[in-house]
Structure 1
C-alpha cells in the first residue's frame, strides 16, 4: 500500500527544550493512524510540521509524495487540518461558512459545493442558522466539512474531540470512519485512548520526543504481559498498554 506520510529522524527544539528527538513513522493511504502521547509529548508539533506551519530542525517529512520543507505548496493542496477548537466563523451561517471556503479555494459552483457538504454532514436543517447557535458536535461537524471542501486526500485531526460531550464525540468518530472508508487518510492525535482504540488501524506512542511503540492494537497487546486467566480472560485495554509502555521507559513497573 502506498505511503501517504513518511517521517524519518524528525527533530525540533524550542530554545533549549528538545521536543522531537528523531521521530520515525509512516502512514498508509486510506488508513486511520493515531498518534498517542501525554500533554507536551510533541503531538501538535508533529502535526504543525506535517501541515507546513512549522519548520523542522532536522530529519525529513514527506506528505503525499512531497517534502514539507521544499514543496510546501504541493503539500497544502493535498491536506486539511482540524485543530482542537472548531475554526468556524460564528457570525456566518453554516452555509455561508462553506461557500466562503469554496470561493477561497477557487472552486466552481460554491453554493452547490456547500449544499453537498451540508447533506453529507447532516447539517441541512441548520444550514441557514448562524454557527454561533450550533452545539459543540454541530460545530465540529461543520469544522470538518470546511476542512474537506475541495476533496482533501489527507486530513489531520489534532485532538478533535477535546471538550465535546460523549454524544458529540461519537458523531466525530462516525465521520472519521466514513472518511477513511471513502479513501481519505486520517492522521489523528488524541489523549483519549478509547478514541484510538475504536478508530485507529494503526497506533504510534510518542514519549519524550520519540516513537517508542507502534503497530496495530493487536500488535501492541503483545507488548503487554499475558492476560491472567481466572474465571474469564481479561484483555488489556489500550489505556493499560499505554501506561505499561510509558512506565517501562521511565523505569517504573506497570
Structure 2
C-alpha cells in the first residue's frame, strides 16, 4: 500500500488530498501546525477508510522542519511514495507597508520548506525508480501580482522549480507536478486578509478543494508537468501573459486588485 505525505493537511486542499487519497487506499502522513485538527482528521480517516495515518505537528517556517520530518520517517521506517507540498501562506496589501516577518515567513514556507522537503525525499524515490511529488502553485504563478507581490513570486518559483524537476526526472520513474489552482474555497483569503471573496456572489466563483485534488491526481497520472485546475476562466487568466505586453497586464491587475483604501 502506498504512503502519501501531505503538508498543510489540516484544512482546505491539504485535507481534500488526505480524504481522496485515503479513499484510494493510501496510507497517510499528515503534517500541519495544529495538533488538535490533525488528530481529529486522522481519527476520522482511520474510521472511514481503514488506512494507517501518522501525524506530525510541525511549523514549516522553522528552518529545520523538513529535516526533522524526513528523520521522523526514517525512525518510523516509513517510505514515502507521494510527497504533496501543499502548505502555503499569502498576504494582501502594499508590500512597502507590509509586515517584514510575514513576507519572510511566506518565502520560508512557500519556497524554502518545499525545496527542502523535495530535496530530502526525492533521492529515495529515484533510488526506488518510482515516486510522485505534487507541488501546489497557483494561477498567480503566471504573472506578477500587485498587492500580492511576494506570494505570486513564490508561486512562480514553485512552477518553474517543478517543471525543471519534471524534466530532470522524467526517465527516473519519478513524476513531478505543479498544480495551479485558481480561487478556491479555503481559509487562504481570510488568512491573507483578502476580503474579495467574502460576499456570496464572489464566493460562488470559488472552486472546491476536492475538484482541485481530483484534477491534480488525473494530471499526475497523465504525466504532465503542470495543470491549471478549476473553471475555464483560470485557463484564460494563466494564458493572458503570453499575448499581452507584461507591463499592460500588470497595470490591469493593479487596478483589479487595488485595495479600497488606496
Structure with more of its chain in strand, by fraction: 1
Structure number, greater radius of gyration = 1
Say which structure is richer in helix.
2
Greater relative contact order structure (CA < 8 Å, 6+ sep): 1
